[in-house]
Amino acid sequence: MVEKEEAGGGISEEEAAQYDRQIRLWGLEAQKRLRASRVLLVGMKGLGAEIAKNLILAGVKGLTMLDHEQVSPEDPGAQFLIRTGSVGRNRAEASLERAQNLNPMVDVKVDTENIEKKPESFFTQFDAVCLTCCSRDVIVKVDQICHKNSIKFFMGDVFGYHGYTFANLGEHEFVEEKTKVAKVSQGIEDGPDTKRAKLDSSETTMVKKKVVFCSVKEALEVDWSSDKAKAALKRTTPDYFLLQGPCWKRGSVSAIPHHFCSLSSTLSPHACLKAFVYSRSESQRHTHRVLLKFRTDKGRDPSSDTFGEDSELLLQIRNDVLDALGVNPDLLPGDFVRYCFSEMAPVCAVVGGILAQEIVKALSQRDRPHNNFFFFDGMKGNGIVECLGPK
């Protein structure tokens, strides 16, 4: 078979046709970077399926779906890549056929080995690594490996109505499109308005920028006893504390949160993103540290089959974790346990869309990435981006 002649810029005519809309959106150079990137995605539950779908459609070079777990009766409720009757099969293998059919140009692979058994050399074949469904210890270990080898690191999870993402891109350079500023020539017009710089919406320029990220360990080792941290606590989402566990030591890092909202999704993964709004709701903000501690200790997520037992344990973990951090446990209301069981498909769609969007932005080096947490509360439909970590 004779390959089709490549279009301008080193991309084939077939690829140019397939990715025409995306090339118009973020440019040929960004698409070429995506086309050369390989991504490791760990955990193929509902959130993993959303991330995989968006990355495959975006046109990365290769995607490896890694999961050693079997399909449970609960999985098909949010995991749309798994066919009916797949209970008992490996989750990654059960997702392969539908994932590959989304875009035959992407090399989709399956790995059924436990992520904990992978050596450092395994990760160096990827440009980005995204973890879901992983314990705290695995997250810290893989983040350190990625940082050492200049690999873009991401993680995220969905617990019922709660979802979050985190990114560590190291020293990340990117370009941002800015509208050109046109100054009015002297002597042509009079009046105070003419002295101001005017924006010419018809002309834009690409501006190179750089942002520095911290490790996940630093992001979670926040000292909430300092005066600055106590003041910032009122603006810090309780969902952050659902990620916490006693092994994160106090006293080494000060908290400097920054709040902003960036909701434009180049992937448009779900219609509900249109209703996405920004909020600094106090009740949203400290959730996932407790849930991550539960997963690490129990080796699983909270289950509806053991709702009573798991609810009591979650409340006890909340009290222990927040007390160890010097934070009032009431900051995370006791009724949070009612909303963090199983995966909610709409929450997976929103969080998976945002996380995939951030991976695309990082790999294409186009547009400012979220630095470093994104929290979503499905009960309120609110999302917030926070930068938590060292100064």
pLDDT tens digit string along 258-271? Answer: 433 333 333 333 33
What is the reported pLDDT for 391? 61
pLDDT at 279 over 70: no
- Residue 191: the pLDDT is 56
* pLDDT at residue 265, rounded to an integer: 37
Residue 55 backbone class (left: φ over 0; alpha: ψ -120 to 50; beta: rest): alpha
For residue 254, CA distances in Å to 136, 174, 219, 323, 324 come to 21, 27, 9, 18, 16
| 93, pLDDT greater than 90 | yes
What does the pLDDT look like over 207-221, one tens digit per residue? Answer: 999 999 999 999 877
The SS3 assignment for 307 reads helix
Q: What is the pLDDT of residues 349-390, one digit of tens each?
A: 999 999 999 999 999 999 999 998 999 988 888 898 988 887
Cβ-Cβ contacts under 8 Å for 264 (sequence gap 6 or more): none
Could you read off the pLDDT of 165-183 as tens digits, one per residue? Answer: 999 999 999 998 887 766 6
pLDDT at 205 over 80: yes
pLDDT recorded at residue 277 = 31
**Range in 102-111, 190-199, 274-283, 336-345 the model is least confident about:** 274-283
Task: Check residue 151 and give its pLDDT.
Answer: 98
pLDDT the model gives residue 71: 96
Average pLDDT over residues 125-134: 96
On whether the CB atoms of residues 184 and 351 are closer than 8 A, the answer is: no
- Residue 257 pLDDT more than 50? no
The pLDDT score that the predictor gives to residue 25 is 84
CA 334, CA 290: separation in Å to the nearest integer?
12
Residue 152: pLDDT over 70: yes
Lookup result for tokens 């909202």: 261
Average pLDDT, the chain: 80
Element (H, E) at 356: helix 345-364
**What pLDDT is recorded for position 47?**
97
